[in-house]
Amino acid sequence: MFEFKKTTLHQKRRILVRVWVAGLFAFLCFTCLVARLWYLQVHRYEGLAARADENRIAVVPVPPRRGEILDRNGEVLARNYRDYTLEVTPAHVKDMSAMLDKLSQLVEITPYERRRFLQQVGQNGRYTRILLRNKLNESEAAWFSSNAYQFPGVELRARWVREYPHGQTAAHVLGYVGRLSEADMNRLDEAGQLGNYRGTPVIGKKGIEKTWEEVLHGKTGIEEVEVTATGRPVRTLSRIDPVPGSDLVLSLDIGLQKVAEAQFEGRRGALVAIDPNTGEVLAFVSAPSFDPNLFIDGIDVESWRELNESPDHPLVNRPLHGTYPIGSTYKPFVALAALELGKRAAHERIADPGFFELGGQRFRNAGSVAYGMTDMHKAIVVSSDTYFYSLGVDIGVDALHDFSKQFGFGQVTGIDLDGERRGVLPSTTWKRSAYRKPEQQRWYAGESVSVAVGQGYNSFTLLQLAQATAVLAQGGAYMKPHLVRQVVDPSTGQSRPTVTEPSHVIDLKPQNLEVIRNALVGVVQQGTARRAFQGAEYQAAGKTGTAQVFSLRGAKYEAGKVDERLRDHALFMAYAPAERPEIALALIVENGGWGSSVAAPVARKVFDYWLTERNVQESQ
């Protein structure tokens, strides 16, 4: 009996110890739990709350509407429209081929679109959103939306899409937008602007789209959206609206642009027309052209090959990138230099036997025509090479360089387009820097002979020739050439002009200007351009030119026996009306031959539209 009680007491003690141990363990666990809760709820509250919000709230960039581009009359040249696209994040797709096959049952995906998408997948990072299909219609967008849960990593997005409604017209002015590249993002990052391009798939690549990108793009907005654990949006919590880009009003007249471009149908060449009073570019032609709409979502291989490998080089912006000897169109400026520098009087006459002899070498007139005794007026009207050969020696290359530089020859004009070339306005200093061998660095008198007639080392852009013509028409006032006439604020609708004052004014004697202007009128009335302007309702002033493409080494030039691409260039510079100029232009028809028969008629069409037909259309 005693042993039984002793055993029971021992068991009770063992149970009591176990209870205390279990209780102590439970107390310690509870204490740890409370400590952990305190740590999470109090000490780590701010950080964890922020992380929870990040999982719950998605910050979505809202891309702005890109500013539109209009011509001077309000005609839209570049606009935007809403579009649905399918974009894929490769990192969220387990089997790309299976996903594409399944998606093709809901939305049409062409073999080209599939091939282009897979190519982009290989060229980009796994977390980069890649365009699979664009221009979805409402039915396709609705079908995908109702089945989107089956396609993780595929997202339906609405976006603004750029469109150029006039196609190839003024393509080299407008340029185009294209997908953001890694180089673009690096450049934006260096400039501190990458954050403003979150959610924006495109950027200006060429033309006005590129040079005015910052103004056209606008400011990206932000939208905070509550999402589920699977990433589905539930509701919008807050929103900062994007600021749309500013609209640009160009100085171009799309009607004049189309008339000018039509004159280059089937030809290669360039034309720039400027209002000499303001510096506004009225027409800017580079022929042949291209369709900028091809580049918006990435140009296909065949189209790119066709443009890039064409012998006519349609992607080259000829007025900016092409440099040419400008032939006899340079003579009015050489004559003005002689007058201003006191090298020759306008009434002074020299004998023109059809050639100029220097150092035992004869430099001949075109066709070896002899004009007899010739003064400055006659020399410009009949385009006497002999007169200007001698003038080149009298003036000297350095003095001619310094004078011509004021008109913009061999200088970057600063027009609001990218990639402008400087060209070559020769001088003794230029030649010493251009050549390495001492015997090549020396300037010879015979080289001044060629330079004075717009040949030799002279190599100018058509924009420079057009600008120089506008400055001459304006009496020496250099208005910076520009394409953007006004920038229109999207919020207020207010506009501001871009150029209002001359960059500089060349100090020219009025009597010398009068000599040159009268001679240019004479070219149109009884000189080399008389046939082209016969019967015009206005009085134009201009100068024809023919520029040699390659040296015949003394042989007689016969266009029919020379390869078409080695034939002479046809040029023309002019302004009208002569008494009060409203438009000045320069143009070149590559390998066109004579400026009088090929280039001058193009100018006549442009002047007719601007000075007569346009007024009739506006009145109607």
Burial 424-457 (b: 16+ CB within 10 A, else e): bbbbeebbeeeeeeeeeeebeebbbbbbbbbbbb
Question: How many alpha carbons lie under 13 Å from residue 214 in its C-beta half-sphere?
Answer: 6
* Alpha-helix residue ranges (DSSP H) falling in 275-396: 301-308, 318-321, 331-340, 376-382, 385-395
Closest CA to 448 of 536, 389, 518: 389
Contact 216, 248 (CB under 8 A): yes
Residue-level pLDDT at 618? 64
Looking at residue 556, its pLDDT comes to 44
Query: What pTM value is reported for the model?
Result: 0.82
How many whole angstroms separate alpha carbon 19 and alpha carbon 424? Answer: 102
* Nearest-angstrom CA–CA distance, 422 and 406: 14
Position 157 scores a pLDDT of: 82
Question: Phi and psi dihedrals of 274, rounded to 5?
Answer: -130, 145
Q: 281-301 burial string, b = 16+ CB within 10 Å, else e?
A: bbbbbbbbbbbbbbbbbebee
3-state class of 12 per DSSP?
helix
Helices 96-103, 111-123: crossing angle, 10 deg rounding: 150
Query: Domains of the chain (ranges plus CATH)?
Result: 59-141+152-250 (3.90.1310.10), 254-619 (3.40.710.10)
Please list the helix, strand and coil fractions of the chain in percent, rounded to the nearest 5, in that order: 40, 20, 35
Assess contact for 435 and 550: CB atoms under 8 A. no
**What pLDDT, on the 0 to 100 scale, is given for residue 138?**
79
Q: What is the pLDDT of residues 537-558, one digit of tens each?
A: 999 999 999 887 654 344 444 4
C-alpha angle with apex 345: 342 to 349, nearest 5 degrees? 140
Q: Residue 466: how many CA atoms within 13 Å on its side-chain side?
A: 30
Instruction: List residues with catalytic annotation.
Output: 328
Low-confidence ranges of the chain (pLDDT < 70): 1-7, 40, 42-58, 227-234, 236, 549-565, 615-620
Q: What is the pLDDT of residue 182?
A: 85
Angular region, 42: left φ>0, alpha ψ -120 to 50, beta rest: alpha
Position 63 scores a pLDDT of: 85
- From the CB of residue 165, how many other CB atoms can be counted at a distance below 10 Å? 11
Write out the two tokens for 466: 């057009």
Residue recorded with tokens 């070498």 = 361
CA distance 147 to 137: 16
